[in-house]
Every structure is written in C-alpha cells, then in structure tokens.
Structure 1
Amino acid sequence: MRVLLAVGVVALSLGCSRGVRPDSEVAGTKPTTGKVYTNEAGEKITLIALEPGDAKKALVAFEGTKSELDGQVLVAGVDTQQRRAVEYWTMWRGHKQRFVTVHDRGGYEDLVFSGVNHTGYTHLKPDTGKTGALKVEKVFERYQDLEGEKKYQGLLAFDRKFWTSQAETQLSEAIAATNKACGSKLTSTVAWDSITDAQINKMSFGSYCVGPMESLQKLCERSDEAKRAVQQKLQAVECRLDDAKAALKMEAQKVIWSVTADRTVQSDETTTFFTDNL
C-alpha cells in the first residue's frame, strides 16, 4: 500500500483507547503505523496512517515549524498518483493545501514541507529514534481533542481577511525588493472588490500578483536605463481579476496587472511589455 511509503513500516499498537464521535473526520478509521521526520532546524512532522487503507486518510502533526501550524494535527487526504511521491492534502483556513509531500529519492525519503500560502520550503528526513518512541494512539487522541475545540474549527474555516493579508504581505515584500533594485518608490494595490470569496479560496493571489515586480526587478538589475525608466514613468502597480483574459496595460503612471482564475501573464511576456512600454 503506497500510503505506507510515507509513514513507514514501523508496526505500532492498533485500535483506540476511546470511542470516536460519529461526525468526526476520522470516524470509521483507526491509526496503524507512523513515522516521524525531523531536520536540524528543529522542525518535526509526524505522519500517521489510518486504516482502512481505501479511506486514503492520514493524520499530520506539526511541531517546531515556526508557523501557526505548530501544535496542530490535521486530517489529510493521501494522493499516491504521483510517481515516487505521496502528497498529503489538508484543509486550512478554507483552502485545500499541500503542506507535506514525501518523495522517494531512490534510496532515501525526503519530506518537503511548505508553509501556509507556500511562502517557503524545508526538507526533513526520517528520524528513527523518535519514530521508535512514537505512540500513534496519542496523536489520534490529540486530533480528537482538537476537533472538538471552536478555535481549531475556526482555523479550518474560510478566512477572507487572512488570505487578503497574506497576499498583501507578499506584494509588499516584492515591491520592497523592486524599489531597492530600481531606486524607485512604487506602491502596490489589489482590487479586492473585483475578487469574490470563491476566487480567493481557489487562487493564490499573492503568487499571481508579484509577477510585474519580479520582472521590473530583473530589468533594473541588468540595466541603468531600466532603472531611470522605472523611476521616471512608474508610480504604482495594481493587481486585479479579469474573467476574460490575463493582461498588462499602462494607465498614466500605473501598471494594471490583470489575472484570470486559470492564467497569469508569463515572465517573458511581462519583460517584453516593460521593454516596449517604458
């Protein structure tokens, strides 16, 4: 069973010490085997396989990741369709997200952890000592305790304010890097009134909207002429959703960057646009 590729073959005690609520996400399952992954940064991620195997579910516990996931145990849907990789998809703040992927690197396992909104990646490896001391029932019971807490349920529900804030932070960081490279004073905005909750829930707007800044930054790093053009001709960048097509256009000293639910303007197109229009 490929689920066990990621959680190992360490056979631990089966069954549960207490009953599971009928409405629980883990109703009808029980923990079987588990594996602990760690790294030198102190991150620790525990994977617990749940049976029956055809449920394709697991528990994922986070510690030391320096994120809001620390101390949490999430139910994951297990995707074994990728060649030599197992993906764990969990719900967080209304988004179905892949925080954890375990790769078979041809002789060793590599767990790749990406944080909320995929703002970075770290690698963890199996920890034999901690796996040997693991008690899967304790993790299972910890999940049951969390599941009954209102705060935990709130962290699973869709949170528009959280996701817009995440996007604004990514944009601010991209603008700061661009302004440093170009010697400019650009500002950025997102036309949130053009974007519905459903679209925010589907898309990563921070990742979609940083494209123009990344292209401008690279141009400025290569050319003093590009720096002067940005300083003289641009003041702002606005990101918005357009159901019709992804596009770039200039209005006065503002770049309007439109993305769709399926596409953003690619970096070579963006670079060409700025080269032709600045």
Structure 2
Amino acid sequence: MRVLLAVGVVALSLGCSRGVRPDSEVAGTKPVTGKVYSNEAGEKVTLIALEPGDAHKALVAFEGTKSELDGQVLVASVNSERGKTHYWTPWRGRKQRFVSVEDRGGYEDLIFSDVNHTGYTHLKPDAGKTGALKVEKIFERYQDLEGDKKYQAMLAFDRKFWANQAEVQLGEALAETNKACGSKLTSTVAWDSITDAQINEMSFGSYCVGPLESLQKLCARSDEAKRAVQQKLQTVECRMDAQAALKLEAQKIIWSVTSGSTVQPDETTTFFIDNL
C-alpha cells in the first residue's frame, strides 16, 4: 500500500502522468509555462513553452480565429530576432509562420496571420485566461491529435489546397483590377509549369498578382490607361520559368516568375506604359 501511495504522489507531482510516444514531435520535452493571448474579436492563441529550452520548441493552440486552424494544436520551432519571437509550424506540407510575438517597449503584441496570409490581427496577453490555463491539458491535447488521421492529413503536403489559395488570391486582385480599369480581364495560372517543390517553397499567389497591381495603379491615375487596358488586354497568365519576365502577346500578358524573383514594380509599370 505504501508503494502504491508513493507512486501516486510522484505521478501527481509530475503534473502529466501520460507517457509520450518515442516518435512524437514532443518526445523528450515537457510543458513548463504558458500564456494566452486574445482580442475583442474573440480570437485566442495559446503558447506553451517546452523544456529543455535548447530544443527551441513550443505548442501553439488556436481558437476563435474563424480559420481551419481553430481547435488545432501545432508544435512550433521558435526563433527570436530584434525583439520578435517567431513560431514556425507545419501545415499542409509547408513551414508556416502564423504567429509572432513582438516586444513593443513594455507590452507584448501577438500578430496572427491566417493560412493564406492575406491579413493580420493583433492579440494581447490575457491575464485571466492565462491564470486558468492548464499547460498539461494542451500538451495532452497535442498528443491526442498526433494520433488522429484527419489531423495528420492536414499536415501533409496538399498541392490542390495551395493551388486553390493562389487562385483565390489572384482572383481577388483581378476583381480589383477590373474595378479600377473598367475592364473584363480574365486570369489563368500555368500549373503544369510549377512543381510541388516550387509550390512548397514560395507563396505563389503573392508572386502572381504583380502585373495586376501595376495595372490598378495606372488606371487609378489615368483615363487613357483605362482605355488602353479595356482595348488591348484580355487575359493575364502567371507561370514559372527559368527567368522572371513580362511579355505581351495577342492581348495576353504572360507573367513569368522564378523562385525568389519577379519583375520589379517600377519595371512592370514602365513596360505597360511603353507597350499599351
């Protein structure tokens, strides 16, 4: 009986008695401290520091963000620079930075960016929720998720998902361009020119919107530019190529990008002024 009581006391003192699988991303670590951040919109992000510190790992839990991250707990690699701490987490086969915390001279600002990185929201430390936080519960929640097939599927690379994200981003930019220019442009992406590795490496939607953003600015400044776009352009194609380039062929803009490089905005604007 004494032995059983002693074992029970040890288990309670550890706070988290469940064993961690040897192949777990958090094997060899334990939760130590946690902090909850929230805002008036109801968004909540919880950060759990893991020991040992030299593992540079943490858990990040999401609630109320109105994104597919809600209810998820992700393991993050942590790095700090210039007063900012970045939390890099896997999602859909890519390393994502959904969360950064910045020291703004006396108060912390947590910056949350959704999966498509088209907007940012700010959260601040929530003392009440932090006081009620049970770090072991978040740790156990993560272990449960690791064994869930649906969760694992959302961590694996998903070409269709990232292609759809890029198409949505391009479609939004196209709508803004047509509004600014009074045009009826269409857009397309030459997906056969883009490898999985390239989709995994870069935010392709951000690269594709370059010529559309330049056309928006030109149309905002000039009625002549509006007329030129309406009369001389029909579609914009975005593709990967060996070299970043911009071409105009038979009322079609061909926008070629390469890893880490696009034609710069000033060059793009000059091209349209000279060729439309």
- Shorter-chain TM-score bucket reads over 0.9
Question: Are the structure 2 counterparts of residues 234 and 28 from structure 1 closer, same or farther at C-alpha, using a change threshold of 3 Å?
Answer: same
Kindly report which structure 2 residues correspond to 1:122-271, keeping only aligned pairs within 5 A, or say none.
Answer: 122-243=121-242, 245-271=243-269
Cα distance in 2, alignment partners of residues 59 and 250 from structure 1:
48
Cα distance in 2, alignment partners of residues 198 and 187 from structure 1:
27
Cα distance in 1, alignment partners of residues 119 and 146 from structure 2:
27
Residue 26 of structure 1 aligns with which residue?
26
C-alpha displacement of 1:17 = 2.4
Larger mean Cα displacement after TM superposition, 159-168 or 14-23? 14-23
- TM-score, structure 1 normalization: 0.94
CA distances 1:226-252 after superposition (whole Å, capped 9, x unpaired): 000000000000000012x11101011
C-alpha displacement of 1:117 = 2.5
CA distances 1:83-142 after superposition (whole Å, capped 9, x unpaired): 101000000000101000000001110000011021210000000000000000000000
Cα distance in 2, alignment partners of residues 89 and 100 from structure 1:
8
Give the aligned residue type for 2:34.
Answer: G
Q: Secondary structure at the match of 1:255?
A: strand
Residue 5 of structure 1 aligns with which residue?
none
Residue 68 of structure 1 aligns with which residue?
68
Cα distance in 2, alignment partners of residues 264 and 99 from structure 1:
24
Residue 3 of structure 1 aligns with which residue?
none
Contact 1:15 1:31 in 2 (8 A): no
Cα distance in 2, alignment partners of residues 54 and 114 from structure 1:
26
Give the aligned residue type for 2:129.
Answer: K
- TM-score, structure 2 normalization: 0.94
Give the aligned residue type for 1:165.
Answer: N
Cα distance in 1, alignment partners of residues 28 and 16 from structure 2:
11
Structure 1 residue ranges (4+ consecutive) displaced by more than 4 angstroms after TM superposition: none
CA RMSD of aligned residues (A): 0.9
Cα distance in 2, alignment partners of residues 14 and 226 from structure 1:
69
Give the aligned residue type for 2:145.
Answer: L
- State the identity %: 84
Structure 2: any 5+ residue segments left out of the alignment?
1-12
Cα distance in 1, alignment partners of residues 228 and 173 from structure 2:
19
Q: Secondary structure at the match of 1:189?
A: strand
C-alpha displacement of 1:256 = 0.3
Structure 1: any 5+ residue segments left out of the alignment?
1-12
Cα distance in 2, alignment partners of residues 45 and 272 from structure 1:
44
Larger radius of gyration: 2
Cα distance in 2, alignment partners of residues 160 and 230 from structure 1:
33
Question: Are the structure 2 counterparts of residues 64 and 58 from structure 1 closer, same or farther at C-alpha, using a change threshold of 3 Å?
Answer: same
